[in-house]
Chains A and B, each alone.
Chain A
Amino acid sequence: MATQSAPIFDTDELVINMGPQHPSTHGVLRLVLKLDGERVVDCDTVMGYVHRGIEKLSENRDWTQIILLTDRMDYVAAATNNLGYCETVEKLLGVEVPRRARYIRTILAELQRIGSHCLWLGTHAMDIGAMTVLLYAFRERELVLDLFEEYCGARLTYNSMRIGGLPLDLPSGWDRKAREFCDVMEGKLPEYEELLTNNRIWLERTRGVGVISAGDAIGLGLCGPPLRGSGVYRDVRKDEPYAAYDEFDFEVPLGTRGDTYDRYLIRLEEFRQSIRIIRQALDGLPEGPIMGKVPRLLKPKAGETYHAIESPKGELGYFIVSDGRATNPYRFRVRPPSFCNLQGLKPLIVGHLVADVVCLIGTIDIVLGEVDR
């Protein structure tokens, strides 16, 4: 291909707007795609359609009110958002959280991971055309929502944690139901796998699609399953244990090729590891109080802190500055995993076909509420 003759026909790039109203941009993401035929030559990611100014709002609310706002960021994983925020403030205040509360928080966070991954699996498969998986995954997600509803009364925005512990103890019989759920979920996973894992079409659609090398993944600041799919061992639960994760046995699945199929396998394995963690936590659930000793008036000393947790989407970090005088944060900043993973979308998409675009939006698993905040 030393000399490339000029095309005979008049060729032009087709610019199409994918989103903000599009069935598979997972919310109000807008992609301006430049197409050469069906191949994407350039992609412009436009976001901000659900920007509600949560960070700025939080700077004018007192510490406990902010928990409500964190619910509204990643609205499919509200409990992990609560957890990340509460732990950051506890770190700032130097509050000790009772062991029972830490166990229950872990259970809730892992249930949330299952719920969030169910939603991811369903929509990802739906984007690629396998619509039955969506209904199957939502059927199991319903059980997660039921468990949360029984625990805190809400099904989507839980407000399920407090600074220093938990608002409520587990209702009686809840642990039995959670165990039953683990059994059900374990039984349903093979159903998903049967429909997808060895499906020729699924393999062709996901293998070798959206390959990203370990170096690129780190360079782009990816986190969570997209980072681990490229074979980088990074899981905040292992690296900087929080809640009660240091007391449990679990593995961090890693990919080798860094393609969409690997990221799919990783998330499926995370289902199993989450079930394993929940079971261990339920078995070893200690007795005791659920609230630590927290001062009536929350007024952390002047200072700043950063604390990260592993949300279902990746590393969710909070950076909070307190000026030591007010009952609200001086600066509140979130490092949302969806936002950082969205950075990786353009390099993933360029060079692929339109059909792969929806598949790649699915594989990075973004929630626009969290991207825009």
Chain B
Amino acid sequence: MLDTLVIPLLKIVVLLNAILISVTFMVLMERKVIAWAQSRLGPMRVGPYGVLQAIVDPIKLILKEDITPIKADKMLFSLAPILSLVPALVAFAVVPFGGDELFYIADINVGLLFFLSVTSIGVYGIILAGWASNSKYPLLASLRASAQLISYEIAVTMTLVSLILTAGTLSMVGIVEAQLADGVWYGFVQPVAFVLVLIGALAETNRVPFDLPEAETELTGGFHTEYSGMRFSLFFLAEYANIIVISAVTAILFFGGWLRPFPNVEALAFLDLIPGWIWLFSKIFLFLYLFMWIRATLPRYRYDQLMRIGWKLLIPIALANIVVTGIVKVLV
């Protein structure tokens, strides 16, 4: 009873709250990082250096009027934000924050597959949002989103196949343990796969330079143009939760998860004094920062260019990577 129900439930409650709170602070961090990149200060009014902005923003969004356009499909319109948030949160179930059983909710033997399948459901939220709004700009955005997310899904999944070949397991914990056994982070073994997954991650989370479904300057906010108040913030939550989960998974797959740098070098054993979850969190943090940095720096790709990169560049490279990995695996 205690082991099968109470402890997992407790873990879920803690993790969910942690994610939701970290999302609000991540929004603040993004605003600050981009502000510094643009020689501004960012939010400074609420609390010292604006730290309380993270709390005030959600309150504001909850208190705002929630408008449903008359011509919208009411059921789908309400369903869409939920459909985009839930998969992002569910995906955390298989993300291990440490090697000990205390640090993950479930270690299923097809963890990576579960992660990929669950996160791809999220796109339905965006497609339905654009469709249900019954408005032209969101419709264009949802068409873009479906094309973009599907094509990048393929590229990322193909790329991960080569990583699975290297690790020999689909379990998230297993992949980290394989990195420990091999004594090297897979980012060094599979650098091509790492870069591809990183690009794919940007596209999957609709971030600059692939933020076409949002594209504020073209489509005036894209799929969430008609949304307001809490429903709008659910999309926001989903986007940021997705970024966090993708950063976490990238860190686990390629940066050794909770392992210290160079896990096979004995001379660095003193680094093990730092708990594993701190290593993982700092790696996630690095990726989050990278996402923000890219957002502050790069312009946006055009729709056709984006599709070209996905189909003509990423997928062939991913396929070639699988072949090379397979050959190396057989020979070595």
Residue pair A353, B302 in contact (C-beta under 8 Å) = yes
Residue pair B302, A205 in contact (C-beta under 8 Å) = yes
Interface residues of B in 194-250 (CB under 8 A from A): 208-209, 211-212, 215-220
Task: Please give, as numbers and ranges, the residues of chain A lying within 8 Å of B136 by CB-CB distance.
Answer: 14, 16
Q: Does A202 contact B (CB under 8 A)?
A: yes
Q: How far is the CB of A190 from chain B (nearest CB, A)?
A: 15
Q: Given A353-B303, A353-B304, does the pair A201, B39 have CB atoms closer than 8 Å?
A: no
Task: Please give, as numbers and ranges, the residues of chain A lying within 8 Å of B219 by CB-CB distance.
Answer: 354
Interface residues of B in 39-73 (CB under 8 A from A): 39-40
Q: Does A46 contact B (CB under 8 A)?
A: no
Q: How far is the CB of B237 from chain A (nearest CB, A)?
A: 22
Which A residue's beta carbon lies closest to that of B37?
A132
Task: Please give, as numbers and ranges, the residues of chain A lying within 8 Å of B218 by CB-CB distance.
Answer: 24, 127, 354-355, 357-358
CA distance A216 to B297 in the complex (A): 35
Chain A interface residue bracket vs B: 20 to 34
Partner of B299, one of A24, A130, A136, A354: A130
Total chain B interface residues with beta-carbon distance under 8 A? 30
Task: Please give, as numbers and ranges, the residues of chain B lying within 8 Å of A14 by CB-CB distance.
Answer: 136, 139-140
Task: Please give, as numbers and ranges, the residues of chain A lying within 8 Å of B254 by CB-CB distance.
Answer: none
Q: Does B305 contact A (CB under 8 A)?
A: yes
Task: Please give, as numbers and ranges, the residues of chain B lying within 8 Å of A132 by CB-CB distance.
Answer: 34, 37-38, 296-297
Residue pair A126, B217 in contact (C-beta under 8 Å) = yes
Q: How far is the CB of B269 from chain A (nearest CB, A)?
A: 42
Residue pair B299, A139 in contact (C-beta under 8 Å) = no
Task: Please give, as numbers and ranges, the residues of chain A lying within 8 Å of B140 by CB-CB distance.
Answer: 14, 16, 35, 38, 354
Q: How far is the CB of B221 from chain A (nearest CB, A)?
A: 9
Residue pair A22, B220 in contact (C-beta under 8 Å) = yes
CA distance A369 to B99 in the complex (A): 64
Q: How far is the CB of A247 from chain B (nearest CB, A)?
A: 37
Task: Please give, as numbers and ranges, the residues of chain A lying within 8 Å of B296 by CB-CB distance.
Answer: 131-132
CA distance A24 to B221 in the complex (A): 12
Residue pair A129, B137 in contact (C-beta under 8 Å) = no
Q: Does B301 contact A (CB under 8 A)?
A: yes
CA distance A205 to B218 in the complex (A): 13
Residue pair B209, A129 in contact (C-beta under 8 Å) = yes
Task: Please give, as numbers and ranges, the residues of chain A lying within 8 Å of B297 by CB-CB distance.
Answer: 130, 132, 195
Q: Does A365 contact B (CB under 8 A)?
A: no
Q: Does B300 contact A (CB under 8 A)?
A: yes
Max count, chain B CB within 10 A of own CB: residue among A22, A131, A132, A204? A131
Q: Does B18 contact A (CB under 8 A)?
A: no
Q: Does A356 contact B (CB under 8 A)?
A: yes
Residue pair B211, A131 in contact (C-beta under 8 Å) = no
CA distance A125 to B209 in the complex (A): 13
Interface residues of A in 118-137 (CB under 8 A from B): 125-132, 135-136
Q: How far is the CB of A137 from chain B (nearest CB, A)?
A: 11
Q: Does A23 contact B (CB under 8 A)?
A: yes
Residue pair B38, A129 in contact (C-beta under 8 Å) = no
Q: Does B298 contact A (CB under 8 A)?
A: yes
Task: Please give, as numbers and ranges, the residues of chain A lying within 8 Å of B208 by CB-CB distance.
Answer: 129
Q: How far is the CB of A358 from chain B (nearest CB, A)?
A: 5
Q: Given A204-B305, A355-B303, does the pair A130, B298 have CB atoms closer than 8 Å?
A: yes
Interface residues of A in 326-373 (CB under 8 A from B): 353-358
Q: Does A199 contact B (CB under 8 A)?
A: yes
Residue pair A129, B217 in contact (C-beta under 8 Å) = yes
Residue pair A128, B300 in contact (C-beta under 8 Å) = yes
Task: Please give, as numbers and ranges, the residues of chain A lying within 8 Å of B212 by CB-CB distance.
Answer: 355
Residue pair B39, A135 in contact (C-beta under 8 Å) = yes
CA distance A139 to B300 in the complex (A): 23
CA distance A205 to B40 in the complex (A): 27
Task: Please give, as numbers and ranges, the residues of chain B lying within 8 Å of A204 by CB-CB distance.
Answer: 301-302, 305
Task: Please give, as numbers and ranges, the residues of chain B lying within 8 Å of A129 by CB-CB distance.
Answer: 208-209, 211, 215, 217, 298-300
Q: How far is the CB of A20 from chain B (nearest CB, A)?
A: 12
Residue pair A135, B38 in contact (C-beta under 8 Å) = yes
Task: Please give, as numbers and ranges, the residues of chain A lying within 8 Å of B305 by CB-CB distance.
Answer: 204-205
Residue pair B39, A139 in contact (C-beta under 8 Å) = yes
Q: How far is the CB of A141 from chain B (nearest CB, A)?
A: 13
Q: Given A129-B208, A129-B211, does the pair A23, B220 have CB atoms closer than 8 Å?
A: yes
Q: How far is the CB of A19 from chain B (nearest CB, A)?
A: 10
- Residue-wise interface mask of A (176-219) relative to B, using a CB-CB cutoff of 8 A (1 in contact, 0 not): 00000000000000000001100101101100000000000000
Which B residue's beta carbon lies closest to that of A129?
B300
CA distance A196 to B140 in the complex (A): 28
* Chain B residues proximal to chain A, CB less than 8 Å: 34, 37-40, 136-137, 139-140, 144, 208-209, 211-212, 215-220, 296-305
5 contacts between A and B (CB under 8 A): A129-B217, A130-B298, A132-B34, A201-B301, A205-B300
